[in-house]
Amino acid sequence: MATLAEQQAILTELHTLGVADLNALWRLARDVDDPFEFLVEAFGELVAQYGVSAADFAAVWYDDTAPALSYVAVPAALPALGQYAESAKWALSAGDGTAVLDRLSGTLQRGVWGMARETTLLNADTEPGARWARHASANACEFCRMAATRGAVYSSKASATRVVGRGKDTATNFHADGTRRSGGQAKGIRVRGAQKVGDKYHDHCHCMAVPVRPGRSYQPPDYVEKWEQDYIDAVRATPGAGDHGAKGVKAVLSTMRRSAT
């Protein structure tokens, strides 16, 4: 089974190959009558091409986490290509060629990695008893660190729309039939804000959605414990952190970012 680092490396390579094709499209656009329309249409096809590959890989990785189980993962379906077209229009509005390519590259990366994440969420939502967790790299930004400190794994795509919470779930392990295992010292998840933080990703974000199959558990990396303390310290140092809405989340994030500089 591919490790998380190996999965990230494969997705990074897909993005690198996609950027090479993106640069080729940029050169071709110089020789067409309407470069803007050409790039808008071609960019959607480019993201779709590499996104399908990412989804296929993610379905295999999902199955590999528990090969003895009968459930067979399926790749996520592509979103409407119009979504990518709108992203391309936004990128092209940057004007300067370097800035445009940087925006397109970031949107391409988000599209490719997003298809892998969506595949995990789709199957975790479909398979009874399955969960998923957000894994962030050690050098992740403060936003991703905060999102990854949720102690519990998400129970479904729907539950990902809840906010990030602090603490450990009272049952992060599940029986093969999907029922929760009792026991443990955790006190459960304490709500953190009112934003849909857990399933939000930015351009160039390397966070992974990690499947936690029935009967399996997820152990976050050791560095997440420090991030949890960083979050607690930021809450204590932030006036108005008790606001559980978007303002509270934004204020705590600002404190975390200032502390990191």
Rounded to 5°, the CA angle 166-159-14 comes to 95
Buried b (16+ CB within 10 A) or exposed e, 38-75: bbbebbbebbbebbbbbbbbbbebbbebbeebebebeb
What pLDDT, on the 0 to 100 scale, is given for residue 164? 34
User: Is the predicted pLDDT of residue 190 greater than 60, yes or no?
Assistant: no
* pLDDT tier for residue 180 given thresholds of 50, 70 and 90: very low
Model confidence over 242-253: pLDDT tens digits?
A: 655 566 778 887
What's the confidence (pLDDT) of residue 155?
61
Is the CB of residue 25 less than 8 Å from the CB of residue 32? no
Q: What is the pLDDT of residue 239?
A: 79
Alpha carbon separation from 26 to 126, 188, 198 (Å, rounded) = 40, 51, 34
Query: Which tokens sit at 259?
Result: 């502390």
> From CA 98, how far away is CA 33, in angstroms rounded?
21
The per-residue pLDDT for 256 is 83
Percent of the chain with pLDDT over 70: 78
For the chain, the average pLDDT equals 80
Residue 187's pLDDT band (boundaries 50, 70, 90)? Answer: very low
Give the span between the Cα atoms of 32 and 42, in whole angstroms: 12
Please, which pLDDT band fits residue 189 given cuts at 50, 70 and 90?
very low
Q: In the structure, what pLDDT confidence band is assigned to residue 171 with cuts at 50, 70 and 90?
A: very low
Mean pLDDT in residue range 45-55: 97
Helix (H) or strand (E) holding 166: strand 164-166
Element (H, E) at 190: strand 190-192
Residues whose CB is less than 8 angstroms from the CB of residue 192 and which lie 6 or more positions away in sequence, other chains included:
146, 150, 163, 164, 165, 166, 244, 249
Q: Is the pLDDT of residue 197 over 60?
A: no
pLDDT score at 150: 66
Q: What is the DSSP letter of 155?
A: S
61-111 confidence digits (pLDDT tens): 999 999 999 999 999 999 988 899 999 999 999 988 899 999 999 999 999
Average the pLDDT over each of 40-49, 69-78, 169-178, 239-248 and give the range with the smallest value: 169-178
Q: Is the pLDDT higher at 24 or at 257?
A: 24
CA dist., res. 231 & res. 144, Å (int): 12
pTM of the model: 0.78
- Judge residue 3's burial from the number of C-beta atoms within 10 Å of its C-beta, 0-12 exposed, 13-18 middle, 19 or more buried: exposed
Give the Cα separation of 204 and 45 in Å (integer). 20
Nearest-angstrom CA–CA distance, 93 and 191: 38
For 178, how many CA atoms within 13 A lie in the half-sphere containing its CB?
10
Among 99-108, 130-139, 150-159, the minimum mean pLDDT is found in 150-159
The two structure tokens encoding residue 96:
């300067």
Comparing 100-109, 157-166, 195-204, the range with the smallest average pLDDT is 157-166
Tell me which range, 7-16, 229-238, 245-254, is most confidently predicted by mean pLDDT: 7-16
How many CB atoms are located within 10 Å of the residue 13 CB? 10
